[in-house]
Amino acid sequence: MQLYRRIDKQGMFVEDVLLDNIPYLTETITNEDGTTQEITHDTIPNPFYIETPCPQGFYQPKWNDTEWIEGGNVSNIISSQLENAKRSKIELSKSLLDTYLVKHPLLFIDGKYYSVTRDKQNLLNNAISIYQMKIQLGIVAELKWNATGEECAVWSLENVVSLALAIAEHVEPIVSKQRSYEVQINSCTTLEEIEGIVIDYEAIA
């Protein structure tokens, strides 16, 4: 078995293929009676199968009949790489933010700790909204929430709103920092600038 690199008519790399035999040029000819047949030239290698290995590092490899070269538009490649790097860095900033919030719960006025993750914030705000809707409709309702490691307990609306506001104040500087990182990342014009941005939420705690 021999590994070849198949290319298209423009010389662009398509795929790696394993073949038992050397691929020879095949062409279709039309006979005088209108029928067609394929003829294999067993002395002419198929030009669409390249034996020369393709080096790493090309974004869109292209065979120029002598060697592998970069076949993509350089400016487009750089732009694409830059946008991909920005997206990855922004996702990292969000992931590290989530990790920070998990590790830094809020110590509330009751002396207990409360989770401040984005999921918990959404659940708390949703619980408040549903409770208020039920009260407006005259439906008997209880508002329940729990401290970290404890079971849910009944809360007054005043106290749970105070908790929600305390959580919002607790996370606001951290969330603002993530948005600041995002703006900084999007303003970068080189990969080196993106790599040079250090995401550290502990520094502003």
* CA-CA-CA-CA torsion sign (158, 160, 166, 171): negative
pLDDT of 156 reads: 95
Q: What is the mean pLDDT of residues 180-197?
A: 94
Q: Contact 49/5 with Cβ under 8 angstroms?
A: yes
Helix/strand/coil percent split, the chain, to 5: 40, 25, 35
First and final CA of the chain: distance in angstroms?
61
pLDDT at position 109 over 90: yes
What does the angle CA 37 – CA 10 – CA 80 come to, to the nearest 5 degrees?
Answer: 140
Kindly report which listed range (4-8, 57-61, 149-153, 198-202) carries the lowest average pLDDT score.
57-61
pLDDT in tens, 121-146: 999 999 999 999 999 999 999 999 99
pLDDT of 110 reads: 95
pLDDT in tens, 164-184: 999 999 999 999 999 999 999
pLDDT at position 37 over 80: yes
User: In the structure, what pLDDT confidence band is assigned to residue 97 with cuts at 50, 70 and 90?
Assistant: very high
pLDDT of 205 reads: 56
Where b means 16+ CB within 10 Å and e means fewer, 24-33 reads: eeeeeeeeee
Kindly report which listed range (15-24, 56-65, 67-76) carries the lowest average pLDDT score.
67-76
Minimal CA–CA distance to 177: which of 100, 113, 111? 100
Q: What is the mean pLDDT of residues 104-124?
A: 96
